[in-house]
Amino acid sequence: MSSTKIRRRTALASGAAALLASPAVLAQAFPSKPVTLVIPFPAGGPSDVFGRLLARGMSERLGQPVVVDSKSGAGGVIGIDFVAKAAPDGHVIGLTSPSAVVLNPQLMAKMPYDAQKDLAPLTLVTRVQEVLGVHPDAGIGSIRDLIAKARANPGKLTYGSAGTGGITHLAGELLAREAGINIVHVPYRGAAPATVDLLGGRVDFAILDITVLLSHFRSGKIKPVMITSASRAALLPDVPNAVESGLAAVNSDNWYGLVTAAGVPEAARARLTAAAVETLKTKEIVEAYAAQGGVVDPGTPEAFGALIAAERTKWGAIIRAANIKLDQ
């Protein structure tokens, strides 16, 4: 065979390979098998509901099943570690909260992954607003009452949280800093026992996800004082938000977003993001999430990455100022 023919065949082969490797072709070929959505929290909770609804909608748009896999433990670290170390082909994604990518990396001396280098953001999924609730016998009718009582009794008011180093703990530390008050943190193993002690008057107040306390607000057993967010909550429309309460910086929205392993091809990440965003914009998802206290808020990978960076800076300052650490 002449050298000219060899060169021609080589050029044709190279051109075909380039075409097959083009973003458009890769996007069409992906996914080539079922996608695993790792939910790093126990089954049955809000994150599980959010994830399963999202998985169903993404399956329809990707043309492959999106299978939910619960891998709970260590505040989401175990599940997100699995995502970070998965093959970088886009067939494993994770539903993360701040704990696994913002908080624990600053609270734990050793992490099994580098949240900034080993993970790629896809999209924010939903924000879950929190509310400050007080026991009716605490003598607190508003956030101003709480601040005044705390200033008159430094180190006396107590607040419960779902655990040391979590959003519900750091929200209290943020409130203390912004309001200039000295309050005592009482950590619990989850929101349920914190709620029990709030109902029993063993702690004065708590800042927890709205849906955790909603039934107790409606029964009058706990009084809502402030939504710790920039906007009011649809489930509690008469309760003022942090901005209206003069504490704009006290924003402790919990949130969930999709991540995958760093190194996943851009075309695959774009297809996953598009499928998630399209799903989240449907009326069915918006209404189902709202019933769980979730405010759907999808966007670009860049926007989600910027949120993670901003949260890392904000909560990092609180963690360092309060010298909060988690035992290994």
b/e map of 257-294 (b: 16 or more CB within 10 Å)?
bbbbbeebbebbbbbbbbbbbebbeeeebeebbeebbb
| Class of the CATH-defined domain 33-128+253-322 | alpha beta
Single-letter amino acid, residue 135: H
Q: At 160, is the secondary structure helix, strand, or coil?
A: strand
Would residue 2 be called left, alpha or beta, if left means φ above 0 and alpha means ψ between -120 and 50 degrees? beta
Distance CA 141, CA 41 (A): 34
Is the link from the previous residue into 31 a cis peptide, with omega within 30 of 0?
Answer: yes
Q: Residue-wise pLDDT tens for the chain (328 aa)?
A: 555 555 555 544 555 444 444 444 555 689 999 999 999 998 888 899 999 999 999 999 999 999 999 999 988 999 999 999 999 999 999 999 999 999 999 999 999 999 999 999 999 999 999 999 999 988 999 999 999 999 999 999 999 999 999 999 999 999 999 999 999 999 999 999 999 999 999 999 999 999 999 999 999 999 999 999 999 999 999 999 999 999 999 999 999 999 999 999 999 999 999 999 999 999 999 999 999 999 999 999 999 999 999 999 999 999 999 999 986 4
CA-CA distances (angstroms) from residue 261 to 81, 90, 227, 270?
Answer: 9, 7, 34, 14
Report domain extents, the chain: 33-128+253-322, 133-227
Look up the pTM and report it: 0.88
Q: Which amino acid is at 191?
A: A
Q: Which fold would CATH assign to domain 133-227? A: D-Maltodextrin-Binding Protein; domain 2 (3.40.190)
Q: Rounded CA gap, 78 and 38, in Å? A: 10
- Burial class of 177 by CB neighbour count within 10 A (0 to 12, 13 to 18, 19+): middle
- Domains 33-128+253-322 and 133-227 belong to one CATH topology: yes
Helix (H, G, I), strand (E, B) or coil at 299: coil
Closest CA to 150 of 216, 192, 195, 205: 205
